[in-house]
Amino acid sequence: LRAMGGAPVLAVTGRRAVTLRARAYDEDIARVVLPSDANSAWVRAVADPAGDLDTPMKGPLRTLREGSADTHRAAIALVKAARLLPAALVLPLDDATGFAAAHELTRLDLPLPPAITPAYAPVAAARLPMEAAEKGRLHVFRPGDGGEEHYAVEVGRPARDGAPLVRLHSACFTGDVLGSLKCDCGPQLHAALDQMGEAGEGVLLYLNQEGRGIGLANKMRAYSLQDQGFDTVEANHRLGFEDDERDFRIGAEILKRLGFSRIRLLTNNPNKIARMEEAGIAVEARVPLKVGEGLHNHHYLATKAAKSGHLL
């Protein structure tokens, strides 16, 4: 990158900048100037908080104040979408269009449009008898932008003009599959299906937004930071993410495609209720889902209540 000339800049989020004690003149983005002797190891140390406690002195870092941050903001949005660490090296080029054409690179016009929820199309559905309910049906929904699939598990045959039990469940490989004791995701998943089975109907939306939307690799990075003594919110911030990066509008879109407009939501998270209402889904009741607390996740749940407003 240096051989191409110019002055590369490391873009990090405002959250990461707070940890680095770097000025984020653009508020949500900080444009860190690379020292002349900076190498790839220096860049990784600034971008990745894994070694923050081992090498706490990284500055003082100089950040840009003048000029547009559109390119840097777009770069952060792209790496977040790819579930990578939210940091990117950015190098302005005199003829970026020609360079992209010569090297067969994708070219995007800036600024990027605001994030929108793509349309989700049903691509397959089949009967699925489950332990919690023999009368089950699994629907697979795929977005038009090539993003991740999401799933709707229908228990029974809920009336489309009714208000069935609905759970918006974010994928949690560690909790749902491995039975991790660090969270309450697995117990919540099974308790929600059990309640729907007892009621004879319901819809569980299984959204592929692992780690509150940061992906499994970054979630493991956050777990590593939690082992160093940071809570779940602090760990996300040190990585450069917000408390919660999920898009609950996806759930509303799928519910509409299934024909529902009113629901009773199984959740402890008021934010899910607000997002459903904003997206045009009427939440007629909140049904608490308090299960799975134990020795290994007590502090995690307390943090969600204190810092994220969960009703626990």
Marked catalytic residue, from 26, 176, 184, 244? 244
Predicted local distance difference test score (pLDDT) of residue 111: 82
Tens digit of pLDDT per residue, the chain (312 long)? 888 888 899 999 999 999 999 999 999 999 999 998 899 999 999 999 988 887 776 778 999 999 999 999 999 999 999 999 999 999 999 898 999 999 999 888 888 877 777 789 999 999 999 999 999 999 999 998 888 999 999 999 999 999 999 999 999 999 999 999 999 999 999 999 999 999 999 999 999 999 999 999 999 999 999 999 999 999 999 999 999 999 999 999 999 999 999 999 999 999 999 999 999 999 999 999 999 899 999 999 999 889 888 987
Per the DSSP assignment, residues forming a β-bridge with 9 are 33, 90
Q: Are 163 and 283 in contact (CB under 8 A)?
A: no
Q: Is 247 part of the annotated catalytic residue set?
A: no
Predicted local distance difference test score (pLDDT) of residue 312: 77
Burial of 102 (0-12, 13-18, 19+ CB in 10 A): exposed
Percent of the chain past pLDDT 70, that is, above it, reads 100
Which residues, including other chains, have CB under 8 Å from residue 95's CB and lie 6 or more apart?
none
3-state secondary structure of 177: helix
Q: Is 167 part of the annotated catalytic residue set?
A: no
Burial of 216 (0-12, 13-18, 19+ CB in 10 A): middle
Predicted local distance difference test score (pLDDT) of residue 292: 86
| pTM of the predicted protein model | 0.91
Predicted local distance difference test score (pLDDT) of residue 3: 87
Marked catalytic residue, from 212, 238, 246, 275? 246
Predicted local distance difference test score (pLDDT) of residue 98: 94
- Distance separating alpha carbons of residues 278 and 272, to the nearest angstrom: 10
Which residues, including other chains, have CB under 8 Å from residue 298's CB and lie 6 or more apart?
none
- Distance separating alpha carbons of residues 265 and 261, to the nearest angstrom: 12
